[in-house]
Amino acid sequence: MAEITAALVKDLRETTGAGMMDCKKALTESGGDIQAAIDWLRKKGLSAAAKKSGRVASEGLVGVALAPGRAAMVEINAETDFVARNEAFQTFVETAAKLALETGEDVEALKAAAYPGSGRNLADELVHLVATIGENMTVRRVAVIDVPGGVAASYIHGALKPGLGKIGVIVGLSGNTDAAIEVLGRQIGMHVAAARPDVLTIAEVDPAALEREKNVLAEQARASGKPEAIIEKMVEGRIKKFYEDVVLLEQIWVHDGESKVKQVVEKAGANITRFVRFHLGEGIEKETTDFAAEVAAAAGV
Average pLDDT (195-213) is 92
How far apart (Å, rounded) are the C-alpha atoms in residues 1 and 93?
Answer: 39
- Assess whether 132 and 258 both reside in one domain: yes
43 and 68 both lie in a single domain: no
* 130 and 256 housed in the same domain: yes
- The CATH number of residue 237's host domain is 1.10.286
pLDDT digits (tens, 9 = 90+) for 210-255: 888 888 888 877 777 777 778 878 888 788 888 999 999 999 999 9
Residue partners of 106: CB distance under 8 A and separation at least 6: 142
**What predicted TM-score, i.e. pTM, was given to this entire model?**
0.75
Residues in the chain: 301
**pLDDT tier at 166, thresholds 50, 70, 90:** very high
Share of the chain above pLDDT 90, in %: 51
DSSP state of 252: B
Q: How far apart are CA 127 and CA 59, in angstroms?
A: 17
- Tally the domains of the chain: 3
Q: Helical H runs in the chain?
A: 6-16, 20-29, 34-44, 49-52, 87-103, 107-112, 122-133, 179-195, 207-222, 228-246, 261-267, 291-298
Residues 192 and 215 in one domain: no
| In a shared domain, residues 170 and 97 | yes
Mean pLDDT confidence for 257-271 = 95
Asked if residue 293 has pLDDT above 60, the reply is no
Note whether residue 292 is domain-resident: no
Q: Are residues 198 and 263 in the same domain?
A: yes
Residue 34 lies in a domain: yes
Q: How far apart are CA 229 and CA 60, in angstroms?
A: 52
Q: Is the domain of 146 the same as that of 15?
A: no
Domain harbouring 256, CATH code: 3.30.479.20
Q: Are residues 179 and 262 in the same domain?
A: yes
Burial class of residue 259 in the structure, from the number of CB atoms within 10 Å of its CB (0-12 exposed, 13-18 middle, 19+ buried): middle
Could you tell me if 40 and 158 lie in one domain? no
Same domain, yes or no: 39 and 71: no
Establish if 295 belongs to a structural domain. Answer: no
Asked if 86 and 136 sit in the same domain, the reply is yes
| 89, 92, 171, 186, 240 from 22: Cα distances, Å | 19, 18, 39, 42, 58
CB atoms within 10 A of CB 10: 12
Any idea what the CATH number is for the domain that residue 43 is in?
Answer: 1.10.8.10
**pLDDT number for residue 114:** 96
Number of alpha carbons in the 13 Å side-chain half-sphere of residue 109 = 12
Do residues 172 and 221 both lie within one domain? no
Query: Is 146 part of a structural domain of the chain?
Result: yes
Q: Is residue 297 in a domain? A: no
Q: What is the pLDDT of residue 291?
A: 45
**Does residue 169 lie within any of the structural domains?**
yes
Domain that holds residue 43: 6-47
Q: Minimal CA–CA distance to 69: which of 197, 185, 156?
A: 185
What confidence score (pLDDT) does residue 298 get?
46
